[in-house]
Structure 1
Amino acid sequence: MADTLTLTLETGDVVIRLRNDLAPGHVERIAGLANEGFYDGVVFHRVIPGFMAQGGCPKGTGTGGSKLPDLKAEFSAEPHVRGVCSMARTSAPNSANSQFFICFDDARFLDRQYTVWGEVTSGMEHIDALPKGEPPRSPGKIITARAA
């Protein structure tokens, strides 16, 4: 199973430690989609200062996912703090698919309600630099995403 995910953004690389110990099903999905090129060219469509940056929607709108079935929730007590990577979903707990978010700051109110699958180990400054907005006027883009 993959240990890291590297997102290459226009401003540089973001390295994420994959948390197989917390969410093996979600890590497998993220790594698999990344290595198939699913995330290449996908934008961060929702970037809220002090909260999080969300991406992973192939439509760039927050309304889409992969063709794979939604995932069963793998909630944990891992705190949603700066640099934590977690899955986006609808109000249904088992609806995560391909969309994810990276926390800018503490968002502990999300704990035990969203699946944490990774944490940024380097390059958080590139997430901080993403254009802000819902959606941003000129959104930041994932050039490539690869798991190793």
Structure 2
Amino acid sequence: MQVVVDPSKPEDVEEIALTVHKEWAPLGAQRFLDLIDAKYYDDCRIYRVIPGFICQWGIPADPAQYSKWGDNKIKDDPVKISNTAGKMSFATSGPDARGSQVFINYDDSCAQLDSQGFSPFAEVTRGMDVAKKLYEEKGKVDQAEAKVEGNKYFKKWPNLSYIKSAKRA
């Protein structure tokens, strides 16, 4: 993924490389790859950063994309590997409710998420230092409003880091 950490310098693009593991969580892994192929994450704001815990994104620039993907939920995969540092999982609001929002665990203490059903499907193989310096927003994002407005909504937070493009290697 090509990431712009500081939006005031859009030409300064950094990289976070991931390896997707279908054997860990086949449904989640395939959904993520489908979202990458659909360019769903391109120009996507990283709206939730909690130092020492996670960074999260998955509300697309174009709200029509959310209707197609984010509202189209997939079933849960069993947790086969722990949510330790560098692992990526889908965010969820309950059983069988994974859509398009994903997060990277910053710390091994995120293993507490295992018992809540968050099943990792990928891991950061390069660029964890980039993931850990993403902009931390001090306001609460209204996800419902962001899903309806896309990046128009995120203009309220011009300093948010964002994914310039995400593609398979």
| Band the TM-score falls in, shorter-chain normalisation | 0.7 to 0.9
Gaps of 5+ in 2: 5-12, 142-153
Write out per-residue CA displacement over residues 18-55 of structure 1, whole angstroms, 9 at most, x where no aligned residue. 01001111111111111111110001111000100000
The aligned amino acid for 2:129 is: E
Return the TM-score normalized by structure 1: 0.85
| Residue equivalent to 1:105 | 107
Change (3 A) 1:125 1:23: same
Higher share in strand: 1
Residue 126 (str. 1) matches residue 147 (str. 2)? no
Gaps of 5+ in 1: 1-6
**Among 60, 70, 74, which residue is 1:71 paired with?**
74
Q: Percent identity?
A: 28
Separation (CA, whole Å) in 2 of partners of 1:66 and 1:132: 27
| Residue equivalent to 1:19 | 21
The answer to whether the 8 A contact 1:66-1:97 is kept is no
**Among 48, 51, 54, which residue is 2:50 paired with?**
48
The alignment's C-alpha RMSD in Å is 2.0
Which SS does the other structure have where 1:111 is aligned?
helix
Higher share in helix: 2
Which SS does the other structure have where 2:16 is aligned?
strand
Which SS does the other structure have where 1:47 is aligned?
strand
Moved beyond 3 Å, runs of 4+: 134-137
Please, which moves more after superposition, 31-40 or 128-137?
128-137
The answer to whether the 8 A contact 1:65-1:99 is kept is no
| Residue equivalent to 2:3 | 9
Select the structure of larger CA radius of gyration.
Answer: 2
What is the number of equivalent residue pairs in this alignment? 138
